[in-house]
Amino acid sequence: METGTLGFDQEVDVSLLPAHLAGCLRGVDADAVEVTDNLVTFRGGIFRFVTNWNVLVPFGFGDLTVNSETREIRYRLSYRQLAIFSTTMVGIVAALVLTFSGFRKLSGSMLALPLMWFVAVFVRAAIESSRFQGLISRAVATAPRVSARSKH
């Protein structure tokens, strides 16, 4: 589970921000998007009809909490699905390498498997976390603003 925060300025209408964030998540094909007060929950993951480039593919689920006092959005993202899928794929590759090269001759490709797993899980998680933060930053940038009339 990864957590993080992203701040927003005084001009953002806090009362409309959760619904706006939900709309932005739906715009990138999130499933089961729900808004409850200041909490937005969603499902992403690889088992949806989206391309592998979709920003929510690595996250099985997540949530966003809008804190009106600190003017922050706190997010939590689950990488469980990514870790399980990557481990399964590397395991299948390992089984194929062992099957076709024999157990006696461990090839160099077998030594590369831990590196493949590390890249598939940790490097991808770092890249996708950055992409998700970009999505939330763009959502905040396009969020409804407090009108001049309501400030007085």
List, for residues 119-143, the tens digit of each pLDDT value. Answer: 889 998 999 999 999 999 999 999 9
- Angstrom distance (rounded) from CA 19 to CA 68: 14
pTM: 0.86
- Angstrom distance (rounded) from CA 34 to CA 12: 21
For residue 9 the two structure tokens come to 């300025």
- Angstrom distance (rounded) from CA 55 to CA 59: 9
List, for residues 33-75, the tens digit of each pLDDT value. Answer: 999 999 999 999 877 888 878 899 999 999 999 999 999 999 9
The pLDDT value given to residue 149? 46
> Which of helix, strand or coil describes residue 63?
strand
Burial of 86 (0-12, 13-18, 19+ CB in 10 A): buried
List, for residues 85-97, the tens digit of each pLDDT value. Answer: 999 998 998 888 7
Neighbours of 52 (CB within 10 A): 7
Residue with token string 């309501």 = 150
Half-sphere exposure at residue 101, Cβ-oriented, CA atoms within 13 angstroms: 13
